[in-house]
Structure 1
Amino acid sequence: MTMLALEVSGLSVSYRQGLGWRQVVEDVSFSVRRGEVLGLVGESGCGKSTVALQLLGFRHGGLRTDTGKIVLDGIDVLTLDRVGLDRVRGAKVSFVPQNPTTALSPGMRIGEQIDEILVAHDLPTGDRARELFGLVGLPDDAAFLRRYPHQLSGGQQQRVCIAMALACEPSFVVLDEPTTGLDVTTQEQIVDLLVGLRARLDMSMLYVTHDLGLLSQIADRIGVMYAGHMVELAPTAQLFSEPRHPYTRGLIAALPRLDEDRRTIKPLRGLLQRDALPKGCPFAPRCDFALTRCFDEAQVLRHAGHGHEAACWRLAEMPPAAAPAVEELPAEPDHCATPPLLTVASLIVRYGHGVRAFTALGSVSLTIGKGETFALVGESGSGKSTLARAIAGMVAPTAGHIHLNEAELSPLVKARSPSQRRLIQYIFQNPDASLNPRATIGRSLSRQLDFFFPDRSASAMEQITAALAEVRLDAAYASRYPDQLSGGERQRVAIARALIAQPELLLCDEVLSALDVSVQASILELLQRLKSELGIAMLFISHDLAVVRMLADRVCVLFRGEVMEIGSREQVFSPPYHPYTHSLLEAVPVPLKKRKPARQRTVTSVDVGTGCVYAGRCVAEIPGICGTMPPPWRETQDGLAIRCHHTLEDLLERESGLSRRGLEKP
């Protein structure tokens, strides 16, 4: 019998609320075997991170553990005092956080941060930092160890955090959303690293995330949480092929799929309202199968198959999970048939001066038609947000031109006319930072009206109500503050604030990346509706290619500030691919598709302005050519353009010999 690395029994946790306490985790039980990876998934606020932190005995004045045991290597973590916890943390159980930028000390060199952990556990330092960096795929030379966190990329910072977690060779690692803020290629590398470390070190892991597709690639089993309850627990393949709980079905149905062309996403009905939970099943108010009994009777995990449990008394009556509906789409707009809404011509953006100058965008040209959704994809640092900010007038281009409705725009927004400012609206990635926390939602929206339509102040409330209705929020939200809204509601308000200006172009900068899958589905459905009903054009920036495939009309692939490929959605998601586009598609996790390790890339330096910027990482690099000569554009008759030294025929022939990870030609 396989030994257990962890056993959680009857865990209930409460947070202080006013003069009382609110229970946020209720009677959660699960176990993890040695060498096993258990995934924990659920909407924001479901309690998964609270459970994860309890494995390290995390407690503060506003939190209490009501009941339960957490037994790790025979030790009940919940019974330990601070001295006992200090011995266990790092040595037996360690933690990898979501945001390495805030987890790493900015004033300490990364090698010193490894040594600090070793010293705290009375372990010798020596060359241990170098060993750990080599283990996680980082350079192990002295110069690299002397770097500060800000001198590393996001992926390198996360590898440092993983190295710190492994410093004392713990048997159990807790990972809390470790790849949420990373692009798909960096995410793929981190997941491959974790898979390799698990096999090499026989580690057990609890992997907390809202990314179901990612969990399918690394977890042996998955636990689904809702409103503090464990509602389903099953082997990974079984959970995806035969989800039993209605909430799990809803999550999977809301998951964008790269291996399926546009389909209807059905968001979960309603929102999680902690203040209005019934005494029975917490999911009952949002469940399509709920009966009166569901609201009154508490549910517990029941046997639903081999190793499969679900907290629903209607398991035997539940119809099979329906396949996602394919959407009948109207014909895509012909962006060449009418004058373009926006034209970007030979745009160059450089930061800094002299030897420290950095080219963020190198001669980018593109057009966006009226009513068109134009997607920008590429990994972090590719220049996507820089391009959007240049279009918005927040960054002054070094060279090039931007035209809106055939009129040239001034480089900076302060020099543009009020009409030009109104027609381009920016929706930021994080509404928590872009909404004024001290202003009501109504006030935030009315400021747009005061600036763009000062003569309509008498009808301001009507327009605010109409804007909220556009994003499916009622008028009562106007009197609320941002901290009284969920993450999805705040993002809807940010969209309403842009819409109330009556724009022609929305700049959507990673507006879905911080949202869990169910909230993401509702925002995606909203954007699809706004596109069809209002005819608003969008520049949609995302590293989620599955979302891009569902929403975009045309797609532009950027790498290190240069366009690699541009074409319609069908063209970009079908062979021939630019080698970089192929690597992005290969990196996207597809549920129930066998995972292939990322290809090893030998990174070489390429002089800026001489060869292809992707040459140093390209697995199809032509020696002596790609690194020294600018690549030509290869174009098809129907508008696909790929910038590569390989001909389109060569790329297509090469693609036919490579596995496409289950992607099918449309």
Structure 2
Amino acid sequence: MAPLVKIEKLRVTARDDYGRELVIVKDVSFTVEPGEVVALIGESGSGKTTIALSLMGYARAGSRIVGGKITFDGREVLAMSQRELASLRGRDMAYVPQSAAASFNPARPLLKQVIESSQIHRVMPVVEAEAKAVALFRELVLPNPEKVGERYPHQVSGGQLQRLLAAMALVTEPKLVIFDEPTTALDVTTQIEVLRVFKKAIKERGTTAVYVSHDLAVVAQMADRIIVLRDGTIHEVDATGRILSSPKNDYTKSLLAAAEPQVRAAAAATTQRRATPPVVEVRSVIAGYGKVDRDGIPALPVLRDINLSIKPGSTLGIIGESGCGKSTLARVVAGLLPAARGEVQLDGMPLPRAAAERTRDQLRRIQIVFQSADTALNPARPIGRILGRPLEFYHGLTGDKRRRRVTELLDMVRLPATIAERYPSEISGGQKQRVNLARALAAEPSLILCDEVTSALDTVVGAAILDLLAELQREIGVAYLFISHDLSTVKAVCDQVMILYAGQIMEHGSRQALHRRPLHPYSDLLISSVPELRQGWLDRMSERFFKEATTGVARTGREQTCSFFERCPVRIPGRCDVEPTPVRRLSKGAEIRCLRTEEELVKLTAG
């Protein structure tokens, strides 16, 4: 049987900011057989998305397909007219991008958008398309499939939007679907939910797919074959099992090594730290949005009775699903969102709740590094000026002293001094995040709030940032509050780990305690949801587990009952949903919020 897709010596160029034309895809050749799922993996800049888009005869702004041949279903794609390409895209070839939120029109109901391609290509009447879309909603395990299409994009979750995007791609029954990092921005339990329904839909239809990702653990679950890319060239091609078990190329080996996070938390001086007073404490904090009532409870509570402490030179990891309150907690500590009740202390002294009321030195001591360096850095200012601003504001440095310190800061984050003359658009994503970190370091803080600082980066670049954070901690003794939805990363970089669900602390303990058998039902769910770097892991996940991961909704509000009640497999109706949930200390040293005793949990989770 002839391959559905055949690429021969594909060459793509792009123009840089100085007008130079660079080759970014260099004579790439491969095939995709009917019914096969082929993964393109590699770090940022490897050319994987550029190649995937080229399959549709498309090149992004500033780039051009300058050579090679692409054959799809016997047709030469690069010889097609724009009209022929328009007929191909969305009909025979469908594309599922990373950001579902950016792909939908906020002003139109979801169903109308899902069936749009079927109407553009006149594949079927509206009534038939709507019925098919609803069947897809049911197949993709969307809640209330008959009604979800009446909602607007802002009325559904990120994971639901991603599945709706898949429905949009599949509604025309395309011969090829291109998945471009479709689960990268999702938390672990949502990711497993989306991966499971994607894989089921692909398998049942015999769909041919190209899956673009930097996450080898995800690719291991989805792909029959892997193509490893770096700097626009193919470094290795093989069956998924052989790539995972016996890679031949050194770069492939480095990708596999980066996918298994190494422990980076600074272990030195642990005993000394225990006797050291915390640099920051959060005490009985309640926070949220909307009007605050006379009891100090906001109309939309997000955090409920949060307590934590961070010692100098240590790292506290905060983990949980999207919407659990992780970023809200960082905003409360930074003073960007004043707590409704409770307090944040710095060196044992209460801080004003709002950043505007804090002194310059209090602002200096707590800095924040956001997830997206693209939006955090002013595109109209060179890097040197971006780094110079906090030096002048906090330390009064000007002229040569400021320039010298900028050079020192760039060296601290392992960037060359020449970067100071460049603009954010002229450097890579990993370099931008290093600049973002250098700006925080410019203040000489005691605590840096790291809010998903590696989630937008590929595995290799993310690993380099984690190594840098650990190295800086050893060198200057800075403390971190490290927020992530990636449990593997948190376990690798943090001394202490706190698990949040719907604004409540479910579990809190040392990294070592987290490595031991999880007893809290939510901790168990979260830890079990992290994809393993082996084939078949997703297929072997139990149906019972999958239902636990995807059913029920969080209980939110002012009451102190368990927010995990609706999803908990060991809940006690009439107690867990009525009584305040106590915090229990386990024999392994961690604390959990649960009505069940440790002995009960051991029995209930055995096997």
Cα distance, 1:395 vs structure 2: 0.4
Compared with structure 1, are the counterparts of its residues 169 and 409 closer, same or farther at alpha carbon in structure 2 (3 Å cutoff)?
same
8 Å CA contact 2:188–2:530 kept in 1: the answer is yes
> Once the two structures are superposed, what CA deviation does each residue of 1:27-47 show, in whole Å capped at 9, x if it has no partner?
111112222211101111111
Amino acid at match of 1:599: F
Q: Return the alpha-carbon distance in structure 2 between the equivalents of residues 605 and 495 of structure 1.
A: 34
Which deviates more, 26-35 or 634-643?
A: 634-643
Q: Return the alpha-carbon distance in structure 2 between the equivalents of residues 450 and 529 of structure 1.
A: 26
Cα distance, 1:171 vs structure 2: 2.1
Q: Return the alpha-carbon distance in structure 2 between the equivalents of residues 39 and 403 of structure 1.
A: 48
Cα distance, 1:71 vs structure 2: 2.2
8 Å CA contact 1:376–1:556 kept in 2: the answer is yes
Name the counterpart of 2:227.
223
8 Å CA contact 1:426–1:506 kept in 2: the answer is yes
1:603 aligned onto 2:552: yes
Name the counterpart of 1:388.
330
2:322 counterpart SS class: coil
- The match for 2:578 among 622, 628, 649 is 628
Q: Return the alpha-carbon distance in structure 1 between the equivalents of residues 454 and 314 of structure 2.
A: 19
Name the counterpart of 1:47.
47
Compared with structure 1, are the counterparts of its residues 144 and 354 closer, same or farther at alpha carbon in structure 2 (3 Å cutoff)?
farther
Name the counterpart of 2:339.
397
> Once the two structures are superposed, what CA deviation does each residue of 1:331-369 show, in whole Å capped at 9, x if it has no partner?
635654221111111111121249993211111111111
* Stretches of structure 2 lacking an aligned partner (at least 5 in a row): none
Identity %: 40
- The match for 2:445 among 499, 503, 511 is 503
Amino acid at match of 2:224: D
Cα distance, 1:49 vs structure 2: 0.6
- The match for 1:489 among 409, 431, 437 is 431
* Stretches of structure 1 lacking an aligned partner (at least 5 in a row): 265-326, 658-666
Cα distance, 1:410 vs structure 2: 0.5
1:315-354 maps to which residues of 2 (within 5 A)?
329-330=267-268, 332=270, 335-353=273-291
> Once the two structures are superposed, what CA deviation does each residue of 1:67-117 show, in whole Å capped at 9, x if it has no partner?
222222222222222222232222221110111111111111101112322
Compared with structure 1, are the counterparts of its residues 50 and 632 closer, same or farther at alpha carbon in structure 2 (3 Å cutoff)?
same
> Once the two structures are superposed, what CA deviation does each residue of 1:122-149 show, in whole Å capped at 9, x if it has no partner?
1122222212211211134554221111
8 Å CA contact 1:256–1:550 kept in 2: the answer is no
8 Å CA contact 1:375–1:539 kept in 2: the answer is yes
8 Å CA contact 1:46–1:228 kept in 2: the answer is yes
Name the counterpart of 1:13.
12
1:117 aligned onto 2:117: yes
Q: Return the alpha-carbon distance in structure 2 between the equivalents of residues 631 and 164 of structure 1.
A: 43
Q: Return the alpha-carbon distance in structure 1 between the equivalents of residues 109 and 492 of structure 2.
A: 43
Q: Return the alpha-carbon distance in structure 1 between the equivalents of residues 147 and 240 of structure 2.
A: 42
Name the counterpart of 1:85.
85
Q: Return the alpha-carbon distance in structure 2 between the equivalents of residues 604 and 419 of structure 1.
A: 42
2:185 counterpart SS class: coil
- The match for 1:188 among 192, 197, 200 is 192
Name the counterpart of 1:28.
28
Q: Return the alpha-carbon distance in structure 1 between the equivalents of residues 410 and 417 of structure 2.
A: 7
Q: Return the alpha-carbon distance in structure 1 between the equivalents of residues 174 and 535 of structure 2.
A: 31
Compared with structure 1, are the counterparts of its residues 89 and 414 closer, same or farther at alpha carbon in structure 2 (3 Å cutoff)?
same
Q: Return the alpha-carbon distance in structure 2 between the equivalents of residues 469 and 612 of structure 1.
A: 48
Q: Return the alpha-carbon distance in structure 2 between the equivalents of residues 187 and 14 of structure 1.
A: 34
Aligned length: 590
1:483-632 maps to which residues of 2 (within 5 A)?
483-592=425-534, 594-595=536-537, 596-597=540-541, 599-601=546-548, 602-603=551-552, 606=555, 608=557, 609=559, 611-632=561-582
Amino acid at match of 2:126: T
Name the counterpart of 1:170.
174
Name the counterpart of 2:101.
101
8 Å CA contact 2:266–2:314 kept in 1: the answer is no
Q: Return the alpha-carbon distance in structure 2 between the equivalents of residues 62 and 479 of structure 1.
A: 23
8 Å CA contact 1:94–1:173 kept in 2: the answer is yes
Compared with structure 1, are the counterparts of its residues 359 and 394 closer, same or farther at alpha carbon in structure 2 (3 Å cutoff)?
same
> Once the two structures are superposed, what CA deviation does each residue of 1:457-500 show, in whole Å capped at 9, x if it has no partner?
66222222221121112322222221221111111111111112
Which deviates more, 105-114 or 138-147?
A: 138-147
> Once the two structures are superposed, what CA deviation does each residue of 1:586-608 show, in whole Å capped at 9, x if it has no partner?
11111126413352133167473
Q: Return the alpha-carbon distance in structure 2 between the equivalents of residues 68 and 462 of structure 1.
A: 49
Q: Return the alpha-carbon distance in structure 2 between the equivalents of residues 449 and 610 of structure 1.
A: 44
Cα distance, 1:59 vs structure 2: 4.2
Amino acid at match of 1:603: G
8 Å CA contact 2:266–2:474 kept in 1: the answer is no
Q: Return the alpha-carbon distance in structure 1 between the equivalents of residues 266 and 279 of structure 2.
A: 26
Name the counterpart of 2:414.
472
> Once the two structures are superposed, what CA deviation does each residue of 1:550-600 show, in whole Å capped at 9, x if it has no partner?
110000000111100000011122124311111111111111264133521
Compared with structure 1, are the counterparts of its residues 361 and 472 closer, same or farther at alpha carbon in structure 2 (3 Å cutoff)?
same
1:248-267 maps to which residues of 2 (within 5 A)?
248-257=252-261, 262-263=262-263
Q: Return the alpha-carbon distance in structure 2 between the equivalents of residues 377 and 466 of structure 1.
A: 33
8 Å CA contact 1:576–1:655 kept in 2: the answer is no
Which deviates more, 54-63 or 111-120?
A: 54-63
Amino acid at match of 2:104: L
Cα distance, 1:610 vs structure 2: 5.7
Compared with structure 1, are the counterparts of its residues 632 and 61 closer, same or farther at alpha carbon in structure 2 (3 Å cutoff)?
closer
Q: Return the alpha-carbon distance in structure 2 between the equivalents of residues 253 and 263 of structure 1.
A: 12
Q: Return the alpha-carbon distance in structure 1 between the equivalents of residues 259 and 271 of structure 2.
A: 26
> Once the two structures are superposed, what CA deviation does each residue of 1:619-641 show, in whole Å capped at 9, x if it has no partner?
23233332333322110366410
8 Å CA contact 1:611–1:627 kept in 2: the answer is yes
Given the two structures, how large is their TM-score scaled by the length of structure 2? 0.92
Q: Return the alpha-carbon distance in structure 2 between the equivalents of residues 19 and 331 of structure 1.
A: 52
2:317 counterpart SS class: strand
Given the two structures, how large is their TM-score scaled by the length of structure 1? 0.84
Compared with structure 1, are the counterparts of its residues 328 and 141 closer, same or farther at alpha carbon in structure 2 (3 Å cutoff)?
closer
Q: Return the alpha-carbon distance in structure 2 between the equivalents of residues 628 and 3 of structure 1.
A: 63
Amino acid at match of 2:279: L
Amino acid at match of 1:108: R
Name the counterpart of 2:378.
436
Compared with structure 1, are the counterparts of its residues 175 and 247 closer, same or farther at alpha carbon in structure 2 (3 Å cutoff)?
same
Name the counterpart of 1:463.
405
8 Å CA contact 1:575–1:655 kept in 2: the answer is no
